[in-house]
Amino acid sequence: MSGRYQQGCLYREKRKHGDVWVLRFRDGQVNRKQIIGTVERYTKKEAMQLCEPIRAKINRATRSLRTVADLVAHYEAKELPRKKSYSTRTAYEIYLKNWIVPKWGECLLHNVETVDVEEWLDSTPLADGSKAKIRAVMSILFRHALRHNLYDKNPIAMVRQGSERENDPELLTSDEVANLLAELNGPYRVMALLAASTGFRVSEIIGLRWEDIDHTANLIRQKRGIVCMNVGPLKTKASKKPTEMTEILSAALLEWRGKCAYNQDSDYVFASIDKAGKQPLWPSSAMSKHIRPAAVRAGITKHVRWHLFRHWHGSTLGENGASVKVIQESLRHASSAISLDVYSQAGRASKQAAQCKLIQSIVPICSSNVAMGA
Report how far residue 36's alpha carbon sits from residue 17's, in angstroms, rounded to the nearest whole number.
15
pLDDT tens profile 159-216:
998 877 666 667 899 999 999 999 999 999 999 999 999 989 999 999 999 999 999 9
Q: Is the pLDDT of residue 289 over 60?
A: yes
Q: Is residue 160 part of a domain?
A: no
Q: What pLDDT sits at residue 274? A: 93
330 shares its domain with 209: yes
192 shares its domain with 85: no
The strand ranges marked E within the chain are 9-13, 20-27, 30-38, 213-214, 219-220, 225-227, 230-232, 243-244
Q: What pLDDT sits at residue 374? A: 46
Grade residue 2 by pLDDT with cuts at 50, 70 and 90.
very low
309 shares its domain with 181: yes
Give me the amino acid identity at 68: V
Q: Is residue 214 part of a domain?
A: yes
pLDDT-above-70 percentage for the chain: 83
| Helix 68-78 / helix 128-147 crossing angle, nearest 10 deg | 80
Q: Is residue 366 part of a domain?
A: no
Tell me the backbone φ, ψ of residue 268, rounded to 5 degrees. -70, 145
Q: Is the pLDDT of residue 339 over 90?
A: no
13 shares its domain with 52: yes
Report how far residue 355's alpha carbon sits from residue 343's, in angstroms, rounded to the nearest whole number.
21
User: What range defines the domain where residue 43 resides?
Assistant: 9-61
pLDDT tens profile 88-118:
888 899 999 999 999 999 998 888 999 999 9
> To 10 degrees, the CA torsion angle through 73, 75, 78, 81?
-100
DSSP 8-state code for residue 322: -
Q: What pLDDT sits at residue 64? A: 46
Write the CATH number for 188.
Answer: 1.10.443.10
Radius of gyration, CA atoms only, the chain = 28
20 shares its domain with 85: no
221 shares its domain with 265: yes
Grade residue 323 by pLDDT with cuts at 50, 70 and 90.
confident
Report how far residue 348's alpha carbon sits from residue 186's, in angstroms, rounded to the nearest whole number.
32
214 shares its domain with 339: yes
- Higher pLDDT: 154 or 17? It is 154
pLDDT-above-90 percentage for the chain: 49
Report how far residue 70's alpha carbon sits from residue 84's, in angstroms, rounded to the nearest whole number.
23
Grade residue 370 by pLDDT with cuts at 50, 70 and 90.
very low
- 3-state DSSP call for residue 203? helix
124 shares its domain with 252: no
pTM: 0.65
Which of 131, 147, 163 is at the close of a domain? Answer: 147
Tell me the backbone φ, ψ of residue 63, rounded to 5 degrees. -60, -30
72 shares its domain with 219: no
pLDDT tens profile 53-88:
887 777 665 544 578 998 998 898 888 887 667 888
How many Cβ atoms sit within 10 Å of the Cβ of residue 248? 10
Tell me the average pLDDT of the chain: 84
Q: Is the pLDDT of residue 4 over 70?
A: no
DSSP letters, 120-131, are HHHHSSS-HHHH
Which of 25, 41, 61 is at the close of a domain? Answer: 61
Q: Is residue 254 part of a domain?
A: yes
224 shares its domain with 328: yes
Q: What pLDDT sits at residue 359? A: 55
220 shares its domain with 96: no
Q: Is residue 362 part of a domain?
A: no
* Segment among 141-145, 241-245, 366-370 with least mean pLDDT: 366-370
Select from 199, 287, 268, 184 the least CA-distant residue to 229: 268
pLDDT tens profile 217-254:
999 999 998 988 888 877 777 778 888 899 999 999 99
Q: How many structural domains is the chain composed of?
A: 3
Q: What distances in angstroms separate CA 6 from CA 21, 26, 180, one per listed residue?
A: 18, 8, 57
235 burial via Cβ count (<10 Å: 0-12, 13-18, 19+): buried
Q: Is residue 129 part of a domain?
A: yes
Which of 147, 164, 199 is at the close of a domain? Answer: 147
Q: Determine the number of helices (DSSP H) and then strands (DSSP E) in the chain.
A: 17, 8
Q: What pLDDT sits at residue 306? A: 95
Report how far residue 21's alpha carbon sits from residue 19's, in angstroms, rounded to the nearest whole number.
7
Q: Is residue 122 part of a domain?
A: yes
143 shares its domain with 110: yes
Q: Is residue 213 part of a domain?
A: yes
Q: Is the pLDDT of residue 295 over 60?
A: yes
